[in-house]
Amino acid sequence: MNLRKLLFLCLLLPAGNKIAADNKPVEETIIALERAAMDRWAKGDPDGFIELSTDDVVYIDPFLEQKFEGIDQLKELYETIRGKVEIDRYEFIRPVVQAAGGCAVLTYNFISYYKEEVHKWNCTEVYRLETSGKWKIIHTHWSLVKPLK
């Protein structure tokens, strides 16, 4: 299912569950999942995001010429950078979770710090509540922040 159809279906569903399967507010659950995966990513371990992604995940990144479709393509990409990512610290700036029915969209600005380097990104993650009761990523979109001068 493409993102446009999914978001349309989410809009038809009643306003999102305020409480997730773990009895926490959906916003708190989604942000905690994202932070846990990012903590692993910062140490060069992409498995946190792989484990959070569905088989039909779509991944968009400004360094890729085209989107990746499916967990197998995402795994191949992540294997090329396994152990190479190093982040001393990071920040999620103004994370927002918008939930509707069994979908939640997380958006945030991301700043990572490594030694003297600072990288600024925008991120959008679309999560789907699976029948198992777990939230999984079905769509990821990263873009670079270009500061105005």
Model pLDDT for residues 73-101, shown as the tens digit of each residue: 999 999 999 999 999 999 999 999 999 98
Model pLDDT for residues 86-140, shown as the tens digit of each residue: 999 999 999 999 999 899 999 999 999 999 999 999 999 999 999 999 999 999 9
Model pLDDT for residues 10-33, shown as the tens digit of each residue: 544 444 455 555 556 899 999 999
Q: Which CATH class is domain 3-144?
A: alpha beta
Query: Distance between CA atoms of 102 and 99, rounded to whole angstroms?
Result: 8
pTM (predicted TM-score): 0.83
Let me know: does 143 contact 61? Beta carbons within 8 Å: no
